[in-house]
Every structure is written in structure tokens, then in C-alpha cells.
């Protein structure tokens, strides 16, 4: 398989392009996605490749974009809509929650809504409180939606292709700080199934379940902990819905200790769901320390760059949490 170094945004663009060539029902809509290339340049070049009929610029109305996507999906199209910032999903939620997520159920499967909503989330860019949130758990709560959070170029491409091919609405959360990260990605079309976690690093001592940008922080923590002889296993669920419980439970049964880390606010965050899955499972009997949950502080993301960092978990937080589960280090 021929590979090419691709950034996260290039991998996403590649997935869209490959699917649009393969399937003429696939098209894109969103604000400034044409010549401007979207808020983060993900769709740059696509309008030249596919023309304005398939790369559709829309008015500034998230509700309108989502409604148009649901409608076109119901008529047999496979829309990919882009919201400039995931914070703006608030405006589109009626279309997503009360229409996209419900229609297939309410009509007994006679209609379906095969759409993908792509949107960047997360802090770290100095975009302040209204452009930096991580709200994925809202969507994960709604039956009828699938929720994807890729952490790497390779995962983003394979998962987006699966999401486009899925007959259900998929909310695809990209992280702003990941767009520039590069890694070798196969040039051809490939799929990563929704609902299959990735073991990003194997380890024996503590299972660290991390999502999105936190996967990279966990891997950095792993490097530092390795020097102290602590081997952590880093698991990236990749999709919150469906969740690969099996991989998580198997890992926890092996290591007996868990740290869950996400950028989203800890309170009522997805970490609570993962922790519950673990204690409700067979892995309960293998737990040898309280589960550690790391998440954002319960504050709006600050504009001040230093405060912004402190609002979300950092590498040192992960290291300390890992050590707490092992009863080692300063914070014991």
C-alpha cells in the first residue's frame, strides 16, 4: 500500500475527494468552504476539483445548513456538512437531534439520513470561550447519532470514509490542534470501522483511555513514565458511539488501573460513561485502584493563553493521575 505523509486536514480532504469521485451522491456544504477553503482550510482545492454544485457555499445559518443536509440525505444524497466551530452546533441541534437522529426510527426504517457533520472542536488556539469548547458528549447522549473523534491523520481518513458510507447521521469531531499533524497515510481508499478502538500503545501497568488531542498527551506521558519503569497502555476509543467496550474492558482487566482523559469538561463528560462501563463490566473484579478521570475544568475556556492551558488536562496531569493509581509519586 503506497503511503504519503499527510496532515490531518489533508487526510480529511483526501477522504472527501476519494468518496466524491467514487460516489456522485456525496457532496459538501458549509460556510466559506469554496474558494476560502473553510475556516481551517480543510476543503481547500475541492471547489476547483468538483465545482460549486458539489462544494456548496451556504449562508451563515447553521440551522439552515443542517436542515438542508437532512433534507438532501432523505432524498438519497450523502451530504457532508461543515460547521466552522463545533460550538455553533447549538444553532443546528434541532435539525440534528429532532430530525436527523429520529427520522429513520419514526418512519420504521422507510427513510434514512446518511449525512456526516464535520466540525472542529477543542481549545488551544486562543479562540476563547465561544470557539473552543468540546461538546461531543451532548451528541453522544442522543440515540440515532454516531459520534467520531479521530486523533490522527490515518484514523481521520479511514473513519471519515466509513462515516460517509454509513446510513446514519454521524457527527465527526476534528480537533483544531491536530490539523497540522502529519503521518504516513495510504493514498488509496481504506476504511476504519466505526466502533473499533485503537490501542495506540501497549502497556501493562495502567490503562489510559484518551480521546482526540489527549491521545497525544497520553503518548507523551507514556514516554516520560517509561523512564520511570511505568508502562501505560493508551487506548483511543476513536468513536464514542458506538463505543468499543470490549477493547477497554480487556485492557482494564489486564492492567487493573485506569485513567480516563478528555479535553471536554469533566463534569458529566464522556469519561463518566467510560468509567461506568468499566465498573459495570467483568473488569470490576480486576480493578486495583479507584478510576482516575481527567477532564476540563468547569469554566468557560479563558482567552488568556496560560489560563487556557490550565483549563484542560496536560501531560503532567496524566502522569500524576497514572502515579496515583499506582500510589507512587508526589501526589499520593
Partner 1 sequence: MAKEVFMPKLGMTMETGTIMKWLVQEGEEVTAGDIILEVMTNKINIEVEAYETGTMLKILYEEGEEVPVNQAIAYIGKKGEEVGEFSQPTMNSQLNSQVTEDKKSEEPVTEKKEKNGGKSRATPSARKLAREHDLQLTEIQGTGPNGRIHRKDVKAHIDNQIDTLPSVAYEDLAQKVEHKKDTETFKVTGMRKIIGDRMKQSISQAPHVTLHSEVDMSEAIRLRQQLLPIIEEKIGLRISYTEIILKAVGVTLRDHPMMNATLVNGEIYLNSRIDIGLAVSHSDGLLVPVIQGVDRLGMAQLSEQSKKLARAAREGKLIPNQLQGGTFTVSNLGMYRVDQFTPIINLPETAILGVGQIKERPIGVNSEIVLKPMMSLSLSFDHRTVDGAPAAAFLTQLVDTLEHPANLLV
Catalytic residue among 10, 82, 131, 174: 131
Cell of 126: 486562543
**Separation of alpha carbons 207 and 204, rounded Å:** 8
DSSP 285: G
DSSP string, 204-254: SSEEEEE-THHHHHHHHHHHHHHHTT--EEEEE-SEEES--HHHHHHHHHH
Nearer to partner 1, 177 or 287 (CB): 287
The closest of 102, 84, 141, 77 to 273, measured between CA atoms, is 141
**131 catalytic residue (yes or no):** yes
| Residues near partner 1, by CB under 8 A | 256, 284-289, 327-328, 332
Nearer to partner 1, 297 or 328 (CB): 328
What's the min distance (Å) between Cβ of 46 and partner 1?
52
**Separation of alpha carbons 186 and 158, rounded Å:** 10
Nearer to partner 1, 128 or 289 (CB): 289
**62 catalytic residue (yes or no):** yes
What's the min distance (Å) between Cβ of 59 and partner 1?
55
Cell of 258: 485506569
Nearer to partner 1, 107 or 284 (CB): 284
What's the min distance (Å) between Cβ of 328 and partner 1?
7
What's the min distance (Å) between Cβ of 289 and partner 1?
6
Nearer to partner 1, 134 or 255 (CB): 255
Kindly report the backbone phi and psi dihedral angles of residue 11, in degrees, each rounded to the nearest multiple of 5, phi listed first.
-65, -40
**Environment class of 52 (CB within 10 Å of its CB; exposed 0-12, middle 13-18, buried 19+):** exposed
Cell of 113: 439520513
What's the min distance (Å) between Cβ of 200 and partner 1?
24
Burial profile 89-111: b = 16 or more Cβ within 10 angstroms, e = fewer: bebbbebbbebbbbbbeeeeeee
* Residues identified as active-site: 62, 131
Amino acid at each position: 500500500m503506497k503511503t504519503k505523509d499527510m496532515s490531518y486536514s489533508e487526510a480529511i480532504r483526501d477522504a472527501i475527494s476519494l468518496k466524491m469521485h467514487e460516489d456522485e451522491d456525496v457532496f459538501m456544504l458549509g460556510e466559506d468552504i469554496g474558494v476560502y477553503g473553510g475556516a481551517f482550510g480543510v476543503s481547500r482545492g475541492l471547489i476547483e476539483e468538483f465545482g460549486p454544485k458539489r462544494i456548496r457555499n451556504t449562508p451563515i445559518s447553521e440551522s439552515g445548513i443542517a436542515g438542508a443536509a437532512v433534507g438532501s440525505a432523505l432524498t438519497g444524497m450523502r451530504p457532508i456538512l461543515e460547521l466552522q466551530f463545533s460550538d455553533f452546533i447549538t444553532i443546528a441541534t434541532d435539525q440534528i437531534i429532532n430530525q436527523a437522529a429520529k427520522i429513520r426510527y419514526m418512519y420504521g426504517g422507510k427513510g434514512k439520513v446518511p449525512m456526516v457533520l464535520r466540525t472542529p472542536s477543542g481549545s488551544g488556539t486562543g479562540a476563547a470561550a465561544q470557539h473552543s469548547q468540546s461538546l461531543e458528549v451532548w451528541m453522544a447522549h442522543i440515540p440515532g447519532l454516531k459520534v467520531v473523534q479521530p486523533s490522527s491523520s490515518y484514523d481521520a481518513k479511514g473513519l471519515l470514509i466509513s462515516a460517509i458510507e454509513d446510513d446514519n447521521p454521524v457527527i465527526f469531531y476534528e480537533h483544531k490542534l491536530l490539523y497540522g499533524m502529519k503521518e504516513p497515510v495510504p493514498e488509496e481508499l481504506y476504511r476504519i470501522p466505526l466502533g473499533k478502538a485503537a490501542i495506540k500503545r501497549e502497556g501493562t501497568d495502567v490503562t489510559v483511555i484518551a480521546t482526540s488531542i489527549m491521545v497525544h498527551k497520553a503518548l507523551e506521558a507514556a514516554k516520560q513514565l517509561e523512564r520511570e519503569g511505568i508502562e501505560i497502555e493508551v487506548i483511543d476509543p476513536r468513536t464514542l458511539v458506538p463505543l468499543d467496550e470490549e477493547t477497554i474492558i480487556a485492557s482494564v482487566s489486564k492492567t487493573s488501573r485506569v485513567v480516563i482523559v478528555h479535553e471536554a469538561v469533566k463534569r458529566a463528560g464522556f469519561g463518566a460513561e467510560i468509567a461506568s462501563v468499566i465498573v459495570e463490566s467483568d473488569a470490576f473484579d480486576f480493578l486495583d485502584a479507584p478510576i482516575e478521570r481527567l477532564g476540563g475544568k468547569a469554566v468557560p475556556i479563558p482567552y488568556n493563553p496560560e489560563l487556557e492551558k490550565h483549563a484542560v488536562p496536560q501531560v503532567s496531569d496524566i502522569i500524576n493521575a497514572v502515579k496515583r493509581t499506582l500510589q507512587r509519586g508526589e501526589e499520593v
